[in-house]
Structure 1
Amino acid sequence: MLTKIYERNPSEKELQRVVDVLERDGIVIYPTDSVYAFGCSLRSPRAIDRLRRIRGKSSGELAVVFGSIAQIAEYCRVDNAAFRTLKRNLPGPFTFVLAASSRVPDKALERRQTIGVRIPANAVARAVVSALGCPLVTASVREDGEAEYTTDPELIHERYGREVSLVIDGGTGDCVPTTVVDLTGGEPEVLREGRGELR
């Protein structure tokens, strides 16, 4: 299923359709401020397992999308220095690596102690998290060679429509991934250069 949700004024009816899918262990593809991404509820171990299979993801490569820095602090250990870095750069095209707290399900961590966290500067992504009432486990839609299959929601639907329950058409996406920054040491360490410029 392909559903259009506008960033400027996300439809509550369409958001509820997305929430219904996520609450039934479904996986959706949604727009972010970088690339389109797969998402499922952090509360759904079955969906997290399926997401790993679809993406062929190893344990450390799933991130979690939050609605606010306060929500990140509920699931991760955030010291004062990390908080200031998050506040300066989020919402934005970043994935920050933080130490996970016991609130993050083992299924999302797979024996790791850290988790990548995001708050995209995209109203649709944040509206989905807000309507769901819990964070989204996420992984980028990536394709070798054919960029349009990561940026055009109709082509994304054509390719992944049988593997996911719903694709949100939020307009043309980007093909540059997030900047990944490790905040678990003394100083922020850029692990991957992407769209975001760290402030």
Structure 2
Amino acid sequence: MARYFDVHPQNPQPRSISQVVDVLRSDGVIAYPTDSCYALGSTIDNHDGAERIRRIRHLDDRHHFTLVCSDFAQLGQLVQLSNSAFRAIKAATPGPYTFILPATPEVPRRLAHPKKRSVGVRIPDHPVVAALLRELGEPLLSSTLLMPGQEDPMTEGWQIKEELDLQLDAVLDAGDCGREPTTVVDWTEGAPEVVRVGAGDPDRF
């Protein structure tokens, strides 16, 4: 059964955040709120975590996982950035955007796209995620909590706990955080291409 943590959306209780990080460090998979919608997360070095997320969402190995970062310095260690990408992405973060970029050697091969060697990265604008990432001290492997056959992501923590109780180790509930996934911008070919329109304004790219 998943442990359930009900936290304040602006000032999450430090003890709860610490306990959720303990779950992650024990190779757990969690559901947590972001600035666009709820997501599934595990640590990067949790080999089983990515597979568990794939099973929950019925994803294949071509799926782009997202590495959720606390700041731009952390993001820059994971992906290769041209000058134009650096300026545009820095101006748009933190925010509800995911950027697909060539991965650096810091990213485990199993988490990058098998052919392109690319990976998604983002810096959410949400106090709960910020607290979680500070306590964890490393990026979080993540995927939108969009279930098979559904058009909209799950938006209520209690519902996530009810429906995925046996598939998760913890649910971090900070109330409704929206139902629109991130806007996804692919920068692997040297210029930005908006491949999914979501919560972030696509016009800036």
Query: TM-score, normalised to structure 1's length?
Result: 0.93
Q: Select which of 38, 62, 67 maps to 1:64.
A: 67
Pairs within 5 Å for 1:39-78: 39-59=41-61, 60-78=63-81
The one-letter code of the counterpart of 1:91 is P
Is the 1:65–1:118 contact (alpha carbons within 8 Å) kept by the matching residues of 2? yes
Structure 1: runs of 5+ lacking an equivalent = none
Who is 1:171 aligned against? 175
Greater displacement, 6-15 / 33-42: 6-15
The alpha carbon displacement at 1:65 in A equals 0.5
Q: Distance in 2 between matches of 1:181 and 1:102?
A: 21
SS at match of 2:154: helix
* Between structures 1 and 2, the one with greater helix share: 1
Equivalent pairs: percent with the same residue? 36
Alignment of 1:1-199 (within 5 A): 1-59=3-61, 60-109=63-112, 111-112=114-115, 113-143=117-147, 144=149, 150-198=154-202, 199=204
Secondary structure at 1:61's aligned position in 2? coil
Deviates more, 1:108-117 or 1:81-90: 108-117
- Quote the Cα distance in structure 2 between the aligned partners of 1:110 and 1:26: 23
Check conservation: 2:30, 2:40, Cα contact below 8 A: yes
> Could you state the TM-score of these two structures normalised by the residue count of structure 2?
0.90
The whole-number CA distance in structure 2 between the counterparts of 1:145 and 1:193 is: 17
1:110 shift after superposition: 5.5
SS at match of 1:46: helix
Cα pair distance change 1:110/1:184, threshold 3 Å: closer
Displacement over 6 Å in runs of 4+: none
C-alpha distance in structure 2 between counterparts of 1:61 and 1:7, whole Å = 28
Once the two structures are TM-superposed, the CA of residue 145 in structure 1 deviates from its matched residue by 5.0
Structure 2 residue runs without a partner (length 5+): none
| C-alpha separation in 2, matches of 1:118 and 1:145 | 23
Kindly report the root-mean-square deviation, in angstroms, between the aligned alpha carbons of the 2 structures.
1.6
TM-superposed CA distance for 1:146, in Å, is: 8.2
How far apart, in 2, do the equivalents of 1:50 and 1:100 lie?
22
